[in-house]
Amino acid sequence: MRAYKLLSQWLCLVPLLIGCAATTTIDEFRPTNQPIFIAENEKVVLLGRRDSGHYETDREFISCVTNKVNSADINVVPEQIFIDAIYPWFEPRTAPKGLPRLKRLMQDPTVREKVENLRIRYLVWLDGSTETLSQGGSMSCAIGPGGGGCFGFAQWDKLSTYEATVWDLKDLIEKGRLRVDSEGTSYLIGAVAPIPLLTPVKSDACSSLGNQLKTFFVVN
Amino acid sequence: MMKIKKIFNIGCLFVGLLFLASCSSTATVEIDTSFPAVLAKPGVLSAVIIFDDEFASYVGKPNENTSVSIGKAQVNLLKNAFSGLFSSIEFASSIDNLNANSGIIITPSVRQIQVSTPSEHYLNVFEVWIKYNLKIETADGRLIVNWFMPAYGKTPDVFMSSKERAIEQATIIALRDAGAKLLLDFYRIPALNQWITEQQKRAES
């Protein structure tokens, strides 16, 4: 009887936990079916786009994707080290937004020499953000000398949209694009203590993008 | 028992006051960071840069609740940035004791610093604008141009991060932007360009 009661309690929690899973879609574009070859001594740098007015690709996300890609045999240069080494040509004001500007920048012998010294072969631009789409419900909390607690229910939908663009710094061409959309709903249940049931939307987007990006590169 | 209740009440009051104090909107920010050397091939000009005391210890007050001390950081940044622009460079604290054959003389100053926080607009970012003026003169004291140089930095409103930390980050990005703007646009200033052309013609004739 006791086991039946425990099982029914767990079954009640299952729909809520399933509701906390994110739905992730990945779109990939590559001009050819050929893998992107990278030599053992060559490196990749992942940079966040920060020139948009209302959002900027957060450093936490860049570092998460960097760690995912770095866990393979691919050498990744940390974003800030690259930006500092090549200052001021990859600041929000000066960073090349397209290949024509990159080609012009790489004509500068000091910039080209620095990129070659750092042995950076591929540059990956990451652009996107995580936004709260809608929220509902209400929660109220109170505290007094006799104790306190929260009562109510709140939910919110989050959407992470990120795009990765791979540039070849040697041949000065685009090698491919990846887009990841991850959406999910999080809940907060107030039953004396607030119980958060959070959907890791951004974390899912990071894992999917990082893992997919790893498959782009083949180490020679 | 009464004593324990009294201590508990005082404790509650203290926690409440601490909570209210943490909601205060006052921010005092001091920027004391180093900046990377610029990657640029210096031009042919030589220059003297004047960092007067007011500039070197500048504290901006964008509003009554916020103060941003950027004097030391902006001197560090501009030393790096100007070193990438000129073949020969000197730094001085006053225009009084200068060598007459010093090329051009540049005196930077801050016209204004502005800060915008998420509570003031619908965007979820902290923004900082620093408006510089560069007074560019010849070695004999003739004014070439007063160049207005705006710089901008923003940083996302990170959950649970302090207002000071967010403004500090946005200010560092604005200072880096000032270095980028200087490297990018300095030799494109029309009046300066014209003066350089005149100097070259004079040297050739």
The 10s digit of each residue's pLDDT in B29-57 is 989 889 999 999 998 899 999 999 999 99
Q: Is B79 on the interface with A (CB under 8 A)?
A: no
Task: Look at A87 and B37 and tell me if their CB atoms are within 8 Å.
Answer: yes
Over 50: is that where the pLDDT of B89 sits? yes
Reported CATH class of domain A23-131+161-180+200-219 = alpha beta
Q: Which residue of A has its CA nearest to B118?
A: A54
Of the listed ranges A15-19, A168-172, A179-183, B60-64, the least confidently predicted one is A15-19
Q: What is the pLDDT of residue B204?
A: 84
Q: Is B14 on the interface with A (CB under 8 A)?
A: no
Task: Quote the tokens at residue B5.
Answer: 């209740």
Q: What is the pLDDT of residue B118?
A: 84
Three-class SS of chain B: CHHHHHHHHHHHHHHHHHHHHHCCCCEEEECCCCCCCCCCCCCCCEEEEECCHHHHCCEEEEECCEEEECHHHHHHHHHHHHHCCCCEEEEECCCCCCCCCCCEEEEEEEEEEEEECHHHCCCCEEEEEEEEEEEEEECCCCEEEEEEEEEEEEEECCCCCCHHHHHHHHHHHHHHHHHHHHHHHHHHCHHHHHHHHHHHHHHHC
Task: Look at B176 and A91 and tell me if their CB atoms are within 8 Å.
Answer: yes
The pLDDT tens digits for A87-142 are: 999 999 999 999 999 999 999 999 999 999 999 999 999 999 998 888 899 988 88
Of the listed ranges A107-111, B96-100, B114-118, B185-189, the least confidently predicted one is B96-100
Q: Residue B163: pLDDT band by 50, 70, 90 thresholds?
A: confident
Q: What is the pLDDT of residue A105?
A: 96
Q: Is B40 on the interface with A (CB under 8 A)?
A: yes
Please state, rounded to an integer, the average pLDDT across all residues of chain B.
86
Contact residues, chain A to chain B, C-beta under 8 Å? 54-56, 58, 84-89, 91-94, 109-111, 114, 145
Task: Look at A110 and B41 and tell me if their CB atoms are within 8 Å.
Answer: yes
Percentage of chain A beyond pLDDT 70 is: 90
Task: Look at B39 and A84 and tell me if their CB atoms are within 8 Å.
Answer: no
Task: Look at B37 and A110 and tell me if their CB atoms are within 8 Å.
Answer: no
Over 70: is that where the pLDDT of B68 sits? yes
Phi/psi of residue B35, each to 5°? -120, 150
Which of A18, A21, A28, A19 minimizes the C-alpha distance to A211?
A28
Greatest mean pLDDT range, A71-75, B32-36, B75-79, B164-168: B75-79
Over 70: is that where the pLDDT of B10 sits? no
Nearest to B156 among A56, A85, A86 (CB): A56
> How far away is chain A from the Cα of B110, in angstroms, using its nearest Cα?
20
Task: Quote the tokens at residue B15.
Answer: 């926690």
The pLDDT tens digits for B169-180 are: 999 999 999 999
Q: Residue B20: pLDDT band by 50, 70, 90 thresholds?
A: very low
Q: Would you list the domain boundaries of chain A? A: 23-131+161-180+200-219
Please state, rounded to an integer, the average pLDDT across all residues of chain A.
88
Nearest to B12 among A58, A114, A145 (CB): A145
Q: What is the pLDDT of residue B128?
A: 95
Residue B39 to residue B33: CA distance in whole angstroms: 19
Nearest to B39 among A54, A55, A114 (CB): A114
Q: What is the pLDDT of residue B100?
A: 58
The mean per-residue pLDDT over the stretch B120-124 comes to: 75
Q: Is B181 on the interface with A (CB under 8 A)?
A: yes
Q: Domain spanning B23-204: which superfamily?
A: Lipoprotein like domain (3.30.160.150)
Q: What is the pLDDT of residue B124?
A: 77
Of the listed ranges A15-19, A196-200, B135-139, the least confidently predicted one is A15-19
A54-75 per-residue burial string, b: 16 or more CB within 10 A, e: under 16: ebbbbbebbbbbbebbbeeebb
Q: What is the pLDDT of residue A10?
A: 55
Residues of A in contact with B11 (CB under 8 A): none
Q: Which residue of B has its CA nearest to A129?
A: B156
